[in-house]
Amino acid sequence: MRVQLGDDIKSPSNTSGLDRPGQININCWQSDDYRADLHEFMRRYGYVGAADINRRCSEKTKTNRIVVLTSVIERLKGRIRGFRRLSQFTPRYVPEILAMWNEGGNRLGQSTEISTQIQNFSVLNWFWKMHGIKVNPIRTYVNDPALAPQYKRESIARVDKSWSGNGVDADRIIAEARFLDPVVARLLELARTFGLRANETLRLRPGLDDKHDHLHIHRGTKTGRQREMKYATFDADLMRQVIESVKAELGPGGLHAAWADRTLVQSRRRLYYILERLDITKKGLGVTIHGLRAQWAIEQFEKLTGATTPVRGGHAMDYRQFSDARLEISRALGHNRINVTSAYYGSFFAMKLPAELRFRDSWRELQAHLPFIQDALHAHHISNLWWVGARANGANVGKQDGWEFLIDEETSFEQAVIAKESLEKTLDACGVGVVCVHVADRAPHSAKQRWANHALPLFDVAAPVLKIEPATSA
């Protein structure tokens, strides 16, 4: 959707500058009532996109801009003597704004989290960008060098935000939700099957939006952008089964997938209330409902390409080989730019070097303990041990990630169980940290599938080498 730069978007009558976004003269806002000028500014320019001025942003984004700008300016007025006009609101006050955010004073009396500060700063950056004022990245204003790296916005996923990637059983959560409120269970099933945003599930009308061979999604989308979820491209049988089940559950007179007797605001509150009771929060189980959308993107990428995503330990391959699959996923999620999907499953290029460095660090740390490991193996007549898990493929986040090893099927179950206890005691005595030795017969099937591509033998090669997955075409 394009923004019309005509009668609806023009500068106030007292401005001497041009009226196009990026060329507004900030000195035109001279009213002592900054709220009046801010209201006028937002009326004319509030929907202008941040990255592309010709693209319209959503109503939610506009509302958030108003809230952030009003809050920041109001607090500055209380701290800066003589500050009263919108024209005075320039980047010179960024250090003061950061000090406000970090010293507390929000509605809970706490400092603002860094992630929230970054999001709020992007709103300020957009405001100044509309006036042609260039602003340095937020981290350049941070005085503490140790803290500055945290003030960096990541557009590429570094960790797996999906439910399955965080050990959250979606089937169990949906079953528990069905007991508390069947509507929430229905919404979660739709989000998981179609990769929908929370707002999209709340506003979906299955009877009308199901077009037999695709799902037409247009209500609740960002900026109102419509898209089609083609069943045949992904999992036609599952998608048809879920949508038909929801339609049957709603009955002939059913319209919305959400509550029939609640407004959108009430439905959203109810949804998040039940999710909180189920511990589906970042502070609880470490995931949100949006994690089902990330899970959908990850699973579809792996299904269409046969490759493991970077956030799940996949390594260097040419993304261009998978451009068709990535484009299909991007469009199904409602994005026009193919690179946006990296926010869900990461980037091979961005994660290749860090993965290799982490792998080498782990191997150097492990080398000193190899003689003790080998002695423990020989004591139980076992010739080799497989190195598996996050450290074996360089996907570990840091020192807190434990070491994982596998005794394969060639060793009898009884012998492997005894060796497992002995090896864990040996490694614990070495002080390498948290250690888990898996016995193949007891390991989950899903884990063994992952290890099939990454398991590294410790003793039948000179040194383990970080495995690069074959670049199979989609």
Q: What pLDDT does 440 receive?
A: 80
Query: Could you tell me the pLDDT band of residue 468, with boundaries at 50, 70 and 90?
Result: very low
- Pair (340, 397) in one structural domain: no
Per-residue pLDDT at 122 exceeds 60? yes
**Cβ atoms of residues 127 and 91 within 8 Å:** no
**pLDDT at residue 116, as a whole number:** 83
pLDDT of 12 higher than 70: no
Q: pLDDT-based confidence at 367, cuts 50/70/90?
A: confident
pLDDT tens, position by position, 166-215 = 888 999 999 999 999 999 999 999 999 999 999 999 999 999 999 999 99
Q: What is the pLDDT of residue 461?
A: 47
- Is residue 196 domain-shared with residue 329, that is, in the same domain? yes
Q: Would you place residue 65 in the very low, low, confident or very high pLDDT band (cuts 50, 70, 90)?
A: very high
User: The domain that contains 417 carries what CATH number?
Assistant: 3.30.460
Residue indicated by tokens 């391959």: 317
- Top pLDDT among 367 and 123 is at 123
Backbone region of residue 254 per phi and psi (left: phi > 0; alpha: psi in -120 to 50; beta: other values): beta
Tell which of 313, 345, 377 closes a domain: 345
19 domain-assigned: no
Q: What is the pLDDT of residue 17?
A: 43
Asked if pLDDT for residue 359 goes beyond 90, the answer is: no
Same domain, 91 and 42: yes
Predicted confidence at residue 11, as pLDDT, reads: 37
**Run of H or E including 37:** helix 34-45
Whether 289 and 356 map to the same domain: the answer is no
Same domain flag for 182 and 120: no
Residues 320 and 357 in one domain: no
pLDDT band at 15 (very low <50, low <70, confident <90, very high): very low
Same domain, residue pair 355 and 338? no
Pairwise pLDDT comparison (222 vs 426), residue with the higher score: 426
Contact 419, 411 (CB under 8 A): yes
pLDDT at 300: 85
Q: Choose from 1-15, 23-37, 50-64, 448-462 the range with maximum mean pLDDT.
A: 23-37
For residue 468, being part of any structural domain is answered with no
Domain ranges, residue 439: 351-457
Given this model, what pLDDT does residue 215 score? 92
Task: Judge if 359 and 335 occupy the same domain.
Answer: no
Contact 167, 269 (CB under 8 A): no
Instruction: Let me know whether 190 and 232 are in one domain.
Output: yes
Residue 438 scores a pLDDT above 60: yes
CA atoms in the 13 A half-sphere facing the CB of 415: 14
Lowest mean pLDDT among 4-18, 69-83, 261-275, 435-449: 4-18
Spatial contact of 373 and 385, defined as CB atoms under 8 Å apart: yes
pLDDT at 10: 39
- Pair 192, 323 in one domain: yes
- Band of the pLDDT at 453, cuts 50, 70, 90? low
Whether 7 is covered by a domain: the verdict is: no
Q: Do residues 120 and 72 make contact, with C-beta atoms less than 8 angstroms apart?
A: yes
How many independent structural domains does the chain possess? 3
Across the range 237-260, mean pLDDT stands at 89
pLDDT range class, residue 289, cuts 50, 70, 90: very high
Say whether pLDDT at 98 is over 70. yes
Q: What is the mean pLDDT of the chain?
A: 80
194 and 311, same domain (yes or no): yes
Among residues 440, 94, 201, 471, which one has the least CA distance to residue 319? 471
In a domain, 63, yes or no: yes
Closest CA to 431 of 366, 382, 376: 366
Identity of the residue numbered 96: E
Q: With a threshold of 0.75, does the pTM exceed it?
A: no
CATH code for the domain in which residue 261 is found: 1.10.443
pLDDT, tens digit, 9 for 90 and up, residues 385-402: 888 877 877 767 666 678
Q: Looking at 2-16, 299-313, 327-341, 408-422, which range is the least confident one?
A: 2-16
**pLDDT attached to residue 247:** 92
Neighbours of 281 (CB within 10 A): 14
